[in-house]
Amino acid sequence: MKLSEILSEVKAKVLVGEEKIDQLEFEYIAASDLMSEVLAIARPSMVLLTGLTTPQVVRTAEVVGIQAVVIVRKDSVPSETLEMARACGVVLAVTKMTMFEACGRLYNKNLKPVWGA
Amino acid sequence: MSITEIMNHSVISVRPDRTLRQVKEILRIKRISGLPVVDSSRKLIGIVSIEDIIKALEGGYIDDTVENRMTKDVVSIESTATLKEVIEFFEKWSYGRFPVVDGEKRLVGIVTKNDVMMALLAKLGLVYLHDERRREVLDSPEYFARSLLTGERLDKSGADFYFSIDYFDINLAGVGASKLRQFLLSKGVDEKTARRVSIATYEAETNVVIHSGSTGAIYCFIKPESIFVRVEDTGKGIEDVELAMREGYSTAPDYVRELGFGAGMGLANMKRCSDNMIVMSKVGAGVVVEMEFLRGREAKG
């Protein structure tokens, strides 16, 4: 599924990397607030949903090769996190939707979990 | 896992026409406790143990030939046996070692309980350091100068990559790992290996920032077959490494958990990503983590 479609499904606003959302496509989604968990389960071709807004989220994404991060249940994201995303080339988007609803909507669209797929 | 992967191939054996006195000397010099006896075509015909030697000394027949005094109905294992079968053998018989033979009863190796244990530990991905070696390493002035994995002297100034963890701000954790990843990719290291290295290094770096209360360093050496990473600090140290290795165990403060760390997965993650790992620590003397990542592990499956 195209990243632009994924983002509109969860009503997310793109903060960084707008130019890439029509090019990138994803099959897998992971949702977590634990960065160690992300490090443990992540695969490069997936979108990360998280409730955390710290620069750490972007750095973790970069280390495992995640290209797109959607921050849930937030209005805004700290500027240092945005800067980090720009520096790392990670697409960053934010939505007011809860983690539960965002996951449910994407699951309905046949996006797959990283394990057991 | 087959027995040929774990047994000792260079087995020392003795011919039946030798004397027990000669056997005693071999046991003493080679510091072993038993010898298989083979005929001229290397067929296994018996075994002599240190117990036989003691009896010979007591009974005054130490100059007798091996053939007269050896145990003739020796229990041996076929070289096609699996690790599981070897363990069952040790359970069934109370002997400390078993000669390994091929289809024609020719001696091809020997297997001890220690070989089995080392094979199991290797399978767990952990290099085992027994207490004595651990003490030796921790007490030596070279604690920070020698590799724990290989025992070699580490020329840290010759490291391919060096990063000083000289900050205390948790928000910066991972800067070194991120730089390391870019460095490895720029040196032509494949993406998957670089990813494993940077994930494990990220965890190690975060540990230094959260737990050590001191500064630390990341060293990386690129070798043809593997990537070697050492992360060290001079901080508080870990009281119980085994406990710390347990998944879910964490001593991280709340503010760290709020940032998505401190779930007690760090060390377990590091172990999973690396092919060999050692954690060495002494309270008050810091922590040293060494990890080895075989290149192209994915390609080999």
B260 with A36: Cβ contact below 8 A: yes
Q: Among A34, A80, A88, whose Cβ lies nearest the Cβ of B260?
A: A34
* pLDDT attached to residue B173: 85
pTM assigned to the model:
0.61
Q: Among B171, B175, B199, whose Cβ lies nearest the Cβ of A39?
A: B199
Question: Which of B175, B193, B174, B176 minimizes the C-alpha distance to B184?
Answer: B193
**CATH number (domain holding residue A73):** 3.40.1390.20
DSSP string, A12-55: PEEEE-GGGTTT-B-SEEEE-S-HHHHHHH--SSEEEEES--SH
pLDDT, chain A, mean: 93
Cβ-based neighbours of B129, under 8 Å, separated by 6 or more: B137, B148, B278, B280
Minimal-distance CA residue of chain B relative to A81: B171
Q: In the structure, what pLDDT confidence band is assigned to residue A74 with cuts at 50, 70 and 90?
A: very high
Report the distance separating Cα B288 and Cα B148, nearest Å: 9
Pairing of β B276-281 and β B287-294: antiparallel
CA distance B279 to chain A (A): 19
Report the distance separating Cα B82 and Cα B26, nearest Å: 30
CA distance B266 to chain A (A): 6
Blockwise average pLDDT, block size 10, chain B, 301 residues = 85 93 91 91 93 93 94 92 88 87 93 82 55 56 66 76 85 88 92 93 91 89 92 86 80 81 83 89 84 77 39
Query: Do B259 and B170 contact (CB within 8 A), yes or no?
Result: yes
Which amino acid is it at B153?
R
Query: Do B273 and B200 contact (CB within 8 A), yes or no?
Result: yes
Domain count, chain A: 1
CA distance B251 to chain A (A): 15
A65 with B195: Cβ contact below 8 A: yes
Q: Quick one: DSSP state of residue B180?
A: H
ipTM above 0.85, yes or no: no
SS3 letters across B4-25: HHHCECCCCCECCCCEHHHHHH
* pLDDT attached to residue B128: 47
* Domain region containing A53: 3-113
- Chains A and B: how many Cβ contacts under 8 Å? 71
pLDDT, tens digit (0-9, with 9 covering 90-100), for A14-70: 999 999 999 999 999 999 998 888 988 888 889 999 999 998 899 999 988 899 999
* pLDDT attached to residue B139: 58
Query: Do B247 and B272 contact (CB within 8 A), yes or no?
Result: no
The alpha carbons of chain A give a radius of gyration, in whole angstroms, of 12
B203 with A60: Cβ contact below 8 A: no
